[in-house]
Structure 1
């Protein structure tokens, strides 16, 4: 390592300033900076090693190679000098990511020998453990850990390891702020009572993710006393034909969820309406997301849900109504009309609105105008831009012109439009200046040249254009997609004519 040059400005010897500079530097530049002098090295290494992958840590202990079974194993046993090298960097690590990679048992056995001498990563605050070796999570946990993300595959090994891990969380990570179990296969050996006891022992939780089939009323009522819980998310469960209908609670007690601001659950719309209309419902919600299955829904369910949430949560800032049943065409499904969606206009504080449905929303230009006028703060608006069941869109590109003056804060927009008709007149003084993304989903298009010319006149050059976000493409989707891709390419060029 070289010494600092005598002529080096004093400012470039200040750790705080160097830390700020290195935060915005490329890794290659920080590698070079780490060789300048001791002061630069400390700050550059602090950035480089703040967040690392587990494989990088293993490289400090010696070379690794895949074994005959495919798992990762050390080429040789780590030596004392290897442990010293790890200790030199371990205290700098604040975020560790253990990826989906099979490791030979000997790898963790070597680490156990070091762990016996003290905490392996003394300043670790966040652990992302995406691996089936759940019995080894305890090697990295300690009282300073604030964020823990646990993921596993359906073929996870010994279920008792998972149970032991969960039951010990309150003892080893009492101060957890964020716990994500949403993508962890929790075995049957872990009862609802067990899980409720674990969560009760983590009083500092602010954010919690759970599998949808685990947010049952018993656990929801346990969580209701958490004084600082702000975000509660249940993920959609797809294994073993599990349904998640009987989740959360419809009999909460007084002063439940005093700090809850974000709630995301997977339930039918009727149950969502029941949850949100109960006497002792959470009072502070600013974000609500419901992941529903349209095969179970009807027009009146949708209308009832929209009416309930707009009546009880007038200060709501974000509303997601998401469709997860993409494999079934329900026989009695009807379009959502302006009559069912009208209550949304009460939510004047909305900043994000996402509505999805297998059929296009039955809205005309006048009704879109009314909705836009009622949502002056809207920044992200997705109005079912990719209906699964195709029909001729009611809206045309004129809707974009209408939104220009009504939604000045709009940054993200998703609309299902008919771009196969004549484009509106081009004006050079009215644009969606704040728009960063326009999603046209499965919108039809014929004259790509005319569409590109029109969009170039009303969209900022930095705005991205995307199409066909549906997982099930019809043959015409491929044709439309190629034309939209051509539009995006030409719209972003510097050519004035094409």
Structure 2
């Protein structure tokens, strides 16, 4: 293989591939793999495939985008999307680490997972490390044998420079013990590193956390993304983090989990010239705003901010944040999660009014919003955000307020012609969305590709076949969310009738998922059957995707 022109792999991503056929293809020494989608190398296929990576006559288009190293296993995968790679990784229980040594690994290598390496393998790992993009250190590594990570920790005296000079990112979850600095922070700076994500558990003392935060600007001077999980929520950490943030002039993205949303942290953030993404996430408790926001006093704050994600109360201070940012420019993405009740409803109305000031908003999430009574006019103002492409709501109403019906959804969607993703669920109260809401959504939003709705189980009559007027050309995924069961007296004779109706909506093959809490009742089973019918039609095994109770 030519190292100047690293090969890549593009294969099918189906997990139901015929193993015998795949293995027969691999066994030919002159393989050129060509197909439309990436593929997970399943165990039998990979073990058959790896020996050919040593063969100089091997002409397959093969590249490795991430490698998972284990004392007893290895996985390589060709997915370009890191989140998918993490989600679907599989372990191969065979000791094949030695195979990495002669492999000309692609410079596009994305992720490396290190787990319980042995002392005899650390030098092999170093050979691969020179090409690493992101080093991922799972929690089960950190209390075990760390000899392979000696280079990263800078503990070997014969190193004149770190072999990780091309490293772009480190992801360590979750660090335990008190050795945080030794494990994560190199002795020498790594100017190439731009992404740092570290999570700690309760065994990591506050002093170690402070030392780690203090070393970040010196060892990672080019950092653009900083993600911290579960660091101690106290004034000393806040003060240290404030100093660290001020020294990271290239910071574009900051994510903080479990830290209070206080002025100690927000003040330096508002002055960061390159900051584009700010995310504060609660750790199972309510995050309060303990200040009146210096953001509101700084008219030049967040001049480039495009994505804001907050877990907080819906109140005047929340509105102040949104209005202040809107005076400079419009956010592109906004995610708000609200754990406490936002009664009276005027609080929710005020927040939505502030949201509408961001005329260029493309993605909006409002999650876990609790109200006692919700007006049908609550979401109509969002129609002014004509650039919206993704809309996600989860609303909990505790009283039988004004019904939110199909035409109310239509009032909002008729001004959102660019919408591609819709997730809308109203739990409790008098939700009146029916299957006809699908027809309304597709009629108003011709670009819709992905729809998730909570459909009222009492209102499930099938719309007339001619109500859509024309078949949709983009829709490919439907998800009927939480508890969307079809009662036996709904007027629908069979799941086949529902499946036939849904298949008439789009010219594309639609994937249907029912995520109802399947308690074995006839109501829940009907949606499961609808989903199974579609999965079989798509060549799958007919699994419904619900959370069945055992």
- Identify the TM-score tier after normalising by the shorter chain: 0.7 to 0.9
Match in the other structure for 1:99: 138
1:78-129 residue CA offsets vs partner (Å, 9 max, x unmatched): 4xxx554333222122211101205446525972544751314222111110
1:196 aligns with 2:242: yes
Change (3 A) 1:73 1:443: closer
| CA–CA separation in structure 1 for the residues paired with 2:69 and 2:7 | 24
| CA–CA separation in structure 1 for the residues paired with 2:515 and 2:535 | 19
1:263 aligns with 2:301: no
Q: Alignment partner of 1:197: what SS? A: helix
CA contact (8 A) 2:381 2:412 kept: no
1:147 aligns with 2:190: no
| CA–CA separation in structure 2 for the residues paired with 1:73 and 1:375 | 51
Change (3 A) 1:279 1:454: closer
Match in the other structure for 2:216: 169
| CA–CA separation in structure 2 for the residues paired with 1:114 and 1:372 | 61
1:126 aligns with 2:175: no
Change (3 A) 1:116 1:216: farther
1:221 aligns with 2:210: no
**TM-score using structure 1 length:** 0.78
Query: Which range is displaced more, 342-351 or 361-370?
Result: 361-370
Match in the other structure for 1:432: 472
Instruction: Mark the runs of 5 or more structure 2 residues left unpaired by the alignment.
Output: 11-32, 75-94, 100-114, 539-550
Cα offset, 1:294, TM superposition: 3.9
| CA–CA separation in structure 2 for the residues paired with 1:214 and 1:482 | 43
| CA–CA separation in structure 2 for the residues paired with 1:364 and 1:49 | 47
Cα offset, 1:226, TM superposition: 1.2
Match in the other structure for 2:333: 287
Change (3 A) 1:280 1:400: closer
CA contact (8 A) 2:484 2:527 kept: no
1:403 aligns with 2:441: yes
Cα offset, 1:251, TM superposition: 2.8
Match in the other structure for 1:488: 531
Q: Alignment partner of 1:354: what SS? A: strand
Cα offset, 1:453, TM superposition: 2.4
1:36-79 residue CA offsets vs partner (Å, 9 max, x unmatched): 329979x95xx4375545767998699xxxxxxxxx8777x54x
> Which of 416, 438, 458 is 2:454 aligned to?
416
Match in the other structure for 2:5: 16
Q: Alignment partner of 1:355: what SS? A: strand
Instruction: Mark the runs of 5 or more structure 1 residues left unpaired by the alignment.
Output: 1-11, 63-71, 325-329
Q: Alignment partner of 2:335: what SS? A: strand
CA contact (8 A) 1:237 1:244 kept: no
Q: How many residues align?
A: 449
Change (3 A) 1:397 1:195: same
| CA–CA separation in structure 2 for the residues paired with 1:348 and 1:90 | 47
Change (3 A) 1:189 1:298: closer
Cα offset, 1:34, TM superposition: 2.3
> Which of 360, 376, 381 is 2:422 aligned to?
381
The structure carrying a bigger helix percent of its residues is 1
CA contact (8 A) 2:287 2:313 kept: no
1:417-462 residue CA offsets vs partner (Å, 9 max, x unmatched): 2355431222597333322322222334133333222112224563
1:138 aligns with 2:185: yes
| CA–CA separation in structure 2 for the residues paired with 1:73 and 1:454 | 53
| CA–CA separation in structure 1 for the residues paired with 2:52 and 2:157 | 31
Cα offset, 1:205, TM superposition: 1.0
Match in the other structure for 1:338: 376
Cα offset, 1:355, TM superposition: 1.8
Match in the other structure for 2:64: 48
| CA–CA separation in structure 2 for the residues paired with 1:315 and 1:74 | 49
| CA–CA separation in structure 1 for the residues paired with 2:340 and 2:499 | 35
> Which of 76, 88, 103 is 2:127 aligned to?
88
What do you get for the CA RMSD once the two structures are aligned?
3.6
